[in-house]
Amino acid sequence: MKTFKIGGIHPADNKLSAAVPFETVPLPAQVIIPLEQHIGAPTVAVVAKGDKVKAGQLIGEAQGPVSANIHSSVSGTVTKLDTVIDAWGYKRPAVYISVEGDEWMEGIDRSGILKEQCDLTPEEIIAKIKNAGIVGLGGACFPTHVKLVPPPSMTVDTLIVNAVECEPYLTHNHRLMLEKGREIMTGIEILKKALKVDKAVIGIEANKPDAIKYMEELAASHDGVSVQALKMKYPQGGEKQLIAACTGREVKSGAIPASVGVVVQNVATVFAVYEAVQLNKPLVEVAITISGPSVKHPGNYIIRIGTPLGDALAMAGGLPEDTGKIIGGGPMMGRAFMTTDVPATKRSAGLVLMPESLSKRRPVMNCIRCGKCVEACPMGLEPYLLAQLGAKQDWERSEKEKVTDCIECGSCMYTCPSNRPLLDYIRMGKAEVMGIIKARAKK
């Protein structure tokens, strides 16, 4: 069974909600829709206080080439344009909408009937994806339409669908394949057409045997589409790691996947592409997982963007009494939330609630030069060195040692026997160096 060669670790997968079908979170009395939900320039509001809106209506217009439209997830009245405190305590511009029913824009197909035939040209497909505000739902939220137009100097021959879901606890991508497999296959065909490629590979880790079997059955009737079962190894969901595992191709430092002839799309993004192109449905809801060792009813949920994440948590049994940390996303790459009273966005992948006993950092000890962090790093870096350079604020050396190649997977901290906060210092160094590089480019 294939996997990537450099580094990697094997945390317990803890897929507590893998067998739990999706539930839909009810509409709240009010949604708060942030205008910054993607990598790139923020959108600009195109609605005003007092405006009536419908679900699927454009409320935030993309600015610049790397940006994404934002649409209303509900029907109702815009009550104000203001800011909202996000999960990390930062103010973000947002549109507040009081919910008044569930009326959708004309032309959005909500019949639930599968539509497999797509007669659009590649250019028309990309335009629909752009207009629908589709972004990468694997965490980065990079505008999808940009990925589908690789630089002219690069020739793409393969689409890789990232269905790895290697983060512990998260299971919504697994459930999407089981419940929306035929729609995903249609989305793959649409993306193949947009990219003008004949080959697509769906990478799925071995802890999802039912999804592997089902997607293989579906792929049998689709020319050029195959399923690659992968050995369980974190962080196999990283683009470069997945490309190496599925194709054996290596993306060099500073290069993009298209440089080796590949474009990677998350399986949830593929489903969103299907809905955008075939059903004219913008990205107004996301699939998330609510889980954790003490969560009463770990589960998977479909939630409208702008709905408080706490509403989904309530359906899972509420906040456990022993909660010590609320993590947005998975426990390896996710970030600690200050509260669950924040709106769901395109970035939302779920909430993992860790008990107090598993949330406290252990006492930091001296580095013993064991090299475990180096062995674990999937990018071939030297985490102990990068952390030391970050602590000393040696940005010039940090850049030379390729701190910007770090994918922030946390494998180094996971393996460190001295409990050193390696990733904290590396993240700081990476942010500083990237800022220096951007400033240098503007001169």
Q: Enumerate the known binding-site residues.
A: 367, 370, 373, 377, 406, 409, 412, 416
Give the helix, strand, coil percentages of the chain, each rounded to 5. 30, 20, 50
Instruction: Give the residue from 125, 237, 142 showing the smallest Cα distance to 186.
Output: 125
For residue 272, the SS3 value is helix
- Extract the tokens encoding 380: 């071939």
Binding site for [4Fe-4S] cluster: what residues are annotated? 367, 370, 373, 377, 406, 409, 412, 416
Q: What b/e string do you get for 252-272 counting C-beta neighbours within 10 Å, with b at 16 or more?
A: eeeebbbbbbbbbbbbbbbbb
Please give the Cα distance from 53 to 276 (Å, whole number).
Answer: 19
What one-character-per-residue DSSP string does 378-401 give? TT---HHHHHHHHHTT-HHHHHHT
Q: What residue has token string 């050029």?
A: 224
Inter-axis angle of helices 267-279 and 172-195, to 10 degrees? 60
Looking at residue 25, the DSSP 8-state letter turns out to be: P
Measured distance CA(120)–CA(18) in Å, rounded? 36
Q: Cα–Cα distance between 225 and 193 in angstroms, integer? A: 13
In sequence order, which ranges of 285-409 are alpha helices (DSSP H)? 309-315, 356-359, 372-376, 383-391, 395-400
- Strand partners of residue 76: 53, 99
211 phi-psi bin (left φ>0, alpha ψ -120 to 50, beta other):
alpha
Q: Amino acid identity of 129?
A: I
Residue 231 tokens read as: 């050995």
Neighbouring C-alpha atoms within 13 Å toward the C-beta of 326: 18
* Integer Cα distance of 379 and 240 in angstroms: 9
Cis peptide before 34 (omega within 30 of 0): no
Helix or strand (DSSP H, E) at 213: helix 209-219
Distance CA 132, CA 191 (A): 15
